[in-house]
Structure 1
Amino acid sequence: MLDDRKILKWSAVPSVKIRSKAIDSSMGSLKRLLDALLSSSAEIVQELSSIYGAETIRYQKPRYGFFLNKFLEHYPESTNPVVVRAPGRVNLIGEHTDYNGLPVMPMSINRDILVLASSRPDNQVHLKNLDDRFPDSHYEIASQIPPFAKGEWGNYSKAGVQTILDYVASKAESQKPPAGMNLLVYSDLPSTGGLSSSSALVVANALATVHLNHIQIEKALLADLLAKGERYVGTEGGGMDQAASLLGERGQALKIDFFPLRVKHVPLPTGYKVMVVNSLVKAEKTRAAMEDYNRRPRECRLIVALLNKVLRRLKGENCHIDRLADLNKSNLDDYQLQTAVDQALPPGSLGLGEISRKLETSVQQIEAEYLTTKEGRILSQPLKGFPLRQRYQHVLTEAKRVEEAALALEHGQISRVGDLMFESHRSCAEDFEISCPELDNLVEIARDAGAVGARLTGAGFGGCVVALVQDSELDRFTQIVKRRYFQEYLKIVHPEIVIESRDFSDLILTCEATKGADRVFQASTDCSP
């Protein structure tokens, strides 16, 4: 269950105390922190080890040192700097179940987004990224921050900040509005890879705002608020990504239930590694990809509407569900449920005309209520109609796979976990139709390379495959995937993709479960122990 002690109390003693008799300024403190990193301070090593593991120190220490040095270059006059981190996540099983109120089982990973933030004397936010693919931007903090053009990366910063602004405004007690900030972003988390880099960026910007302004908020509540707040950028997912980033623990997967948010930590098996392989097919957040992605939760809302119509007829006007998870609480026996499903969701696809007849309303009303995006755009009907029975089949069976996988992990039944992962991929590909030929091919190569289980992970339409691999098979797995997918298959199917990696370590990732998002260091003039 969720640890009630996980409350973000930013007025507490910093995680790492830079001991000194006197510190002249906050930037002086940051320079001392940089010196401590470079000199392998015991406290610094202990803090980074508690997050990432002692075996990663040789990588993380220079990474943080480089980051702090760049901040000093970009913002030499800043005050009260704070370093926060937000890990990505890989979803082991449970795809597109979260927004239906059904469980998922992700883990936070040892790839993350770092944000170094400092206060400004005005209401401006100046945003820089050390990855030059993402240009500098700036905006003003206001009660309602207008978005940049769709697709601009700065909208993820705005989403995190706007969420905190709305939270502060909702509190009964008066609180000074958050101040302006200088923000520097540094990530080793692949973008467009299905590892939730977008949500991690939202989480990190929200945490920076919280820390700099001494706002207190419980982590589970923040995860819930950010799940809604990320809709600012135009995507309409569930709450898995934010909860996984914020609530992760080392060596643990998270079985997450929703409405209300509940987290159970599930031990990951020793002797196995979670491998993430980037297909290099980008799950772009373009208009076409967003339409495909956003159509899935809306199809699920149509399923709920059609089921409610039948349930009222069969069980009376008081029989109603808000989301598919509510079927578990509807007191329907198996025969009644199957009857409702058969009547509401016949095999094949339904066009808008047939859906309007079943719901006894107009096509225009359906488009307005179920298919209109936040921006006012109407999502189009697929060429062959909406395959709602297939979508329902995936969501319900996937939720069962999550429950069974969590039990199998607890009982050490690793081969069963692998079977469930393969079953999940088949369902994602055939019933929910979020896979692509490259992901299907990569899953089969992973199976041949010795993976106990493998499946696509993330929203789909490209991105990554997650595989569970025994330690003794890691070298063989890596070599087979490298040769058969990247050096053979991909060169034939996508000759335009240039692979720049020499050792493939940024394409075939060995992932460890890490602590969730939090403040790492804060340079402050307060040196009290």
Structure 2
Amino acid sequence: MDKKLFQQLGLLQKEFEKLYGKGKVFFAISPARINIIGEHIDYIEYFKTAVLPFASKEHYMLLAFRKRNDQKVRCASLSPGFSSAEFSLKDFKASHKHASWEDCLTLTTPCKPCWTNYIKASCFYLRFLFPKKNLKGMDLLVFSTIPIAGGASSSSALVVAIALALRGVNGLKIDNNEIAESSSKAEWFCGTRGGKMDHATMCFGLSNKVLLINFKPFGVKYVSMPNGYSWVTFYTTKADKGNELTCQYNERSAVSRIVIPTLLKKSGSLPKSIILGQFAKKFPNEYLELTKTYPVLIQTRSKNFIFPVKKYADHHLQEIARVNLATKLLQSGKAGDMAHLGKLLNQTHISLRDLYGVSTHDLEKVFKIANSVKGVLGARVMGGGFGGNLLVLVKAEQTEQLINKIKEKYYLPNKRKNWEKDIMVSTAGEGARLLPEKTDLKVKLISKVNDWKHLDEKEIFSLVKEIKTPQRKTKVIIVAAGKGTRAKKSGLLGPKVLAPLCGKPALIHVLEKFPCKKLNDRSIFYSEVVVVVSPQNQKEIKKALGKRNVKYVLQKKALGTGDAVFQAMKKVKNFEGDVVVIWGKQALVKKETIQKTILLHRALGAVMSFPTTNKKNPYAPLIRAKDGWVKDSRETNLEQSRKQKIGEDNVGFFVANAKELWVVLQKIRQEIFNPKIKVYQAPKGEFGFPNLITRKLASKGEPIFAFCMAQSFEAKGINEKKDLKIMEKYL
């Protein structure tokens, strides 16, 4: 589960329901396209070409939508300055029964640039494909983290997202290749005559993979993304797709698609340039194709207009060679090869500037600044050019230094506001897709559990029931290795986890909450129970538990609850499921609370979850962000955190994804364990749980949930002798 994504989905769903009313909401996502190399060659057809892009995990277009019973499409955006609009699928009309898409565009191409044209593009193209089908419209709301007109293809991301949504509401088959092909053609509605690279990248993206996309014939292969490097884009100025800029782009497309192939085929050579009137006279049929495919361009260019030819072709051939070499360098991933890849980026930039003429003053300025930073391997203008983004390849450890340098030398001198939003650090992620049907239920559930002061258990478990989360294997870790310093001082003899409560050791009360037998299909059962013991108490605990089906892990030195869990996790680190952690002294945690927590944890797909209670003088007060997401917890004893009169406290029971927990435990141990003196560089030399875990996961943006549904007495554990009488009242 992606916490940032679900925060955005929560906002999107809330605003969608404000606009269009309560009801079922569906979602689509389409990523930004980051093209490593292979610029302005995806639309040429006179030579075999390939490109090396990837889909951004961190930056994407989100779409909330709902089917309508008519053919209306109502659209709105959360981005400021984008007005709402409404149109009908009936607005698109083919020129005649067997009209081509190009013929249709002469009748329906929009006059003024507008963001909703990209929505119309996808909708009208689907109507073109299915002229006899009674296609239904939809209500939709857009949210984007892709800079607009920045070269990361926010427009294509919108076209692809709409294509997915409209096929979804009409029950049409969704095929990656068909979506990519249709979306690339659909976008011609907006005036540009681009290729298929952006849409194919969005449709075929895979986590940690660069795409090697070939166009003749079309095919996608994957290359692993090397570790240790960052891909950072810096937005300069808007590449506004107004009429003139569209014509500038289409001029290069027209020369590449029609003029160069014609000259090669009929003349056998390429001149430096050709006058439009001469081309029309020599090649009337091909000129007719130009006027049909690029009507606005031909209308705005006089017969004396000179088309550059040779330098565009030189860029194509040089860029094709760079892509081939870059593929081999990426496959190697060695430091020297990545440095070579950086040089290729610089060469592409120079080619796009000198041969293709798509760079700008601002792009050149940022290019120069970036290449002056230590650790930067190369940079280039990304996308169509004429503004937009500069892509930089930098060693991961120098990423922050690079960002600071661009900020100081470019953004601040230009008085750029909110410059942080103009920077994208991207890793390779999944491609465009419809999110699971019950995503809106999960979004609602998150909203309900994060509203912890008004938690309605009946409402949240009704949502859990609707989500129908499948069973997951679960193992139990009972931590029973504490030193018990306070307990001994209070006169409690023996291990506190064996202190008698109603005639039975506390540890057995805890153990009985975790049945290892499956009672029915809906019951929660546990495949294994691990008890963490110390050298001092292991004999007594083993004797007390007798022949019970448990495994023991020895914590040789008392280095905190986090270390105890770490030792136990060594035994279950490859476990595909969830792991429950509970302190052996917490006999009052109710079985019902445990089961509810596990059900919620599964329904939410969380990394870690735990029940809490709102009580006086919390021992480890939980800290939440304004929107209710957990961001930290502090312990008043071990960490000497400031005490609170009232607050949210955990009850000593936690559930976590086993693999994710093992990863974060290892990371924290690597960071704070001193192997020479064998203690943690933390308060009292101990690794505390869950505080350090919560802090680390929250800082990484991982989803942690706390459910304020436990009763205050459940937080009571055995710390002193006097606690026994208090606890027996509740048992």
TM value normalised by structure 2: 0.55
- On the 8 A contact 1:224/1:261 being kept in 2, the answer is no
Matches within 5 A, 1:122-141: 122-141=70-89
Matched, 1:290 2:290: no
Secondary structure of the structure 2 residue equivalent to 1:409 = helix
Following superposition, the deviation at residue 372 of structure 1 comes to 5.3
Partner of residue 261, structure 1: 218
Following superposition, the deviation at residue 228 of structure 1 comes to 1.1
Partner of residue 331, structure 2: 410
- On the 8 A contact 1:125/1:141 being kept in 2, the answer is yes
**After superposition, what is the alpha-carbon deviation per residue over 1:327-373, rounded to whole angstroms, capped at 9, x for unaligned?**
xxxxxxxxxxxxx4xxx223x4332355457xx346xx665332555
Matches within 5 A, 1:232-381: 232-279=189-236, 281-300=237-256, 301-310=258-267, 340=268, 344-346=269-271, 348-355=272-279, 360-361=282-283, 367-371=287-291, 373=293, 375=295, 378=298, 379-380=300-301
Matched, 1:520 2:520: no
AA matched with 1:433: G
Q: Identity over the aligned pairs, expressed in percent?
A: 30
Following superposition, the deviation at residue 522 of structure 1 comes to 2.2
Partner of residue 470, structure 1: 395
Partner of residue 92, structure 1: 36
- On the 8 A contact 1:303/1:388 being kept in 2, the answer is yes
Aligned partners of 1:75 and 1:212: how far apart in 2?
Answer: 16
AA matched with 2:288: A
Following superposition, the deviation at residue 106 of structure 1 comes to 1.1
Aligned partners of 2:412 and 2:114: how far apart in 1?
Answer: 33
AA matched with 1:217: I
Following superposition, the deviation at residue 304 of structure 1 comes to 0.8
CA 1:416–1:371: 2 relative to 1, 3 Å: farther
- On the 8 A contact 2:208/2:224 being kept in 1, the answer is yes
Partner of residue 431, structure 1: 355
Following superposition, the deviation at residue 120 of structure 1 comes to 1.4
CA 1:217–1:66: 2 relative to 1, 3 Å: closer
Following superposition, the deviation at residue 177 of structure 1 comes to 2.4
Partner of residue 142, structure 1: 90
- On the 8 A contact 2:275/2:304 being kept in 1, the answer is no
- On the 8 A contact 1:104/1:240 being kept in 2, the answer is yes
CA 1:474–1:121: 2 relative to 1, 3 Å: same
- On the 8 A contact 1:253/1:513 being kept in 2, the answer is yes
Aligned partners of 2:202 and 2:70: how far apart in 1?
Answer: 30
Following superposition, the deviation at residue 166 of structure 1 comes to 3.1
Following superposition, the deviation at residue 383 of structure 1 comes to 7.8
AA matched with 2:144: S
Following superposition, the deviation at residue 376 of structure 1 comes to 5.3
Aligned partners of 1:100 and 1:269: how far apart in 2?
Answer: 29
- On the 8 A contact 1:88/1:108 being kept in 2, the answer is yes
Partner of residue 115, structure 1: 63
Equivalent residue in structure 2 for 1:155, among 117, 127, 147: 117
Equivalent residue in structure 2 for 1:76, among 7, 14, 21: 21
AA matched with 2:345: M
Secondary structure of the structure 2 residue equivalent to 1:461 = coil
**After superposition, what is the alpha-carbon deviation per residue over 1:224-247, rounded to whole angstroms, capped at 9, x for unaligned?**
121111111111000001011111
CA 1:236–1:465: 2 relative to 1, 3 Å: same
- On the 8 A contact 1:227/1:238 being kept in 2, the answer is yes
Partner of residue 230, structure 1: 187
Partner of residue 623, structure 2: none
CA 1:374–1:294: 2 relative to 1, 3 Å: closer
Following superposition, the deviation at residue 115 of structure 1 comes to 0.8
- On the 8 A contact 1:351/1:381 being kept in 2, the answer is no
CA 1:481–1:381: 2 relative to 1, 3 Å: farther
Name the count of aligned residue pairs.
420
More strand by share: 2
Aligned partners of 1:467 and 1:445: how far apart in 2?
Answer: 11
Aligned partners of 1:381 and 1:263: how far apart in 2?
Answer: 41
Secondary structure of the structure 1 residue equivalent to 2:222 = strand
Secondary structure of the structure 1 residue equivalent to 2:87 = strand
Partner of residue 150, structure 2: 193
AA matched with 1:472: E
Following superposition, the deviation at residue 465 of structure 1 comes to 0.5
CA 1:226–1:288: 2 relative to 1, 3 Å: same
- On the 8 A contact 1:107/1:252 being kept in 2, the answer is yes
Secondary structure of the structure 1 residue equivalent to 2:210 = strand
Which structure 2 segments of 5+ residues have no match? Answer: 94-107, 442-465, 471-731
Matched, 1:455 2:417: no
CA 1:396–1:519: 2 relative to 1, 3 Å: same
Aligned partners of 2:304 and 2:208: how far apart in 1?
Answer: 45
CA 1:382–1:393: 2 relative to 1, 3 Å: farther
Partner of residue 204, structure 1: 161
Following superposition, the deviation at residue 163 of structure 1 comes to 2.6
- On the 8 A contact 1:207/1:518 being kept in 2, the answer is yes
Aligned partners of 1:353 and 1:150: how far apart in 2?
Answer: 28
- On the 8 A contact 1:150/1:233 being kept in 2, the answer is no
Following superposition, the deviation at residue 385 of structure 1 comes to 2.1
**After superposition, what is the alpha-carbon deviation per residue over 1:185-231, rounded to whole angstroms, capped at 9, x for unaligned?**
11111101011000001011111111112211321121012111111
Partner of residue 66, structure 1: 11
Aligned partners of 2:395 and 2:15: how far apart in 1?
Answer: 39
Partner of residue 386, structure 1: 307
Matched, 1:167 2:92: no
AA matched with 1:507: D
Secondary structure of the structure 2 residue equivalent to 1:121 = coil
Aligned partners of 2:232 and 2:79: how far apart in 1?
Answer: 25
Aligned partners of 1:142 and 1:375: how far apart in 2?
Answer: 24
AA matched with 2:421: D
CA 1:368–1:290: 2 relative to 1, 3 Å: same
AA matched with 1:485: Y
Partner of residue 183, structure 1: 140
Equivalent residue in structure 2 for 1:399, among 300, 312, 320: 320
Which structure 1 segments of 5+ residues have no match? Answer: 1-44, 49-56, 311-339, 492-497
CA 1:353–1:74: 2 relative to 1, 3 Å: closer
Aligned partners of 1:138 and 1:431: how far apart in 2?
Answer: 42
Name the larger-Rg structure.
2
- On the 8 A contact 1:128/1:135 being kept in 2, the answer is yes
- On the 8 A contact 1:86/1:203 being kept in 2, the answer is yes
